[in-house]
Structures are given as C-alpha cells and as structure tokens.
Amino acid sequence: MGDLLLILSRNNHPLVKEEPSLRYQFIVFVVITIVALTAAIISLRRWRYEEPYEP
C-alpha cells in the first residue's frame, strides 16, 4: 500500500500530486477505524456468547 503511494508520487500521478499526505492520512484513518470496529464487534460477540455459559 505504502509502496504504491511512493511509486505514484514519484511518477507525479495526477491523483496523488495534489495532497499525498492528506490522502495517506485518510486511508490510514479509515483502515484503523475499520480494524477497531471489527475488533470491538468480535469482542462484544464473544462476551455476549461466553457470559451465559459461565457458572
């Protein structure tokens, strides 16, 4: 992912020429948010399903 952005910025690709740092920060923010939400959902499901089975 980072290598692709480096290659595009070296070639002065029009999509990345304007603000590569902002685009990169946005992509990282979205990925971190998705991972955090997924981890929260998985932990909530485990907690919800495991709690009733405890004595």
The identity of residue 5, as a single letter, is L
Mean confidence (pLDDT) of the chain: 74
Task: Tell me how many domains the chain contains.
Answer: 1
Q: What is the pLDDT of residues 3-29, one digit of tens each?
A: 665 555 555 555 555 556 788 888 999
13 contacts 39 by C-beta, under 8 angstroms? no
pTM of the model: 0.47
Q: CA-CA distance, 4 to 33, in Å (whole number)?
A: 21
pLDDT at 34 over 90: yes
Question: Structural domain of residue 20, as residue ranges?
Answer: 2-53
Classify residue 20 by burial, with Cβ atoms within 10 Å: 0-12, 13-18, 19+: middle
CA dihedral 21, 14, 5, 31 (to 10 degrees): 60
The length of the chain, given as a count of residues: 55
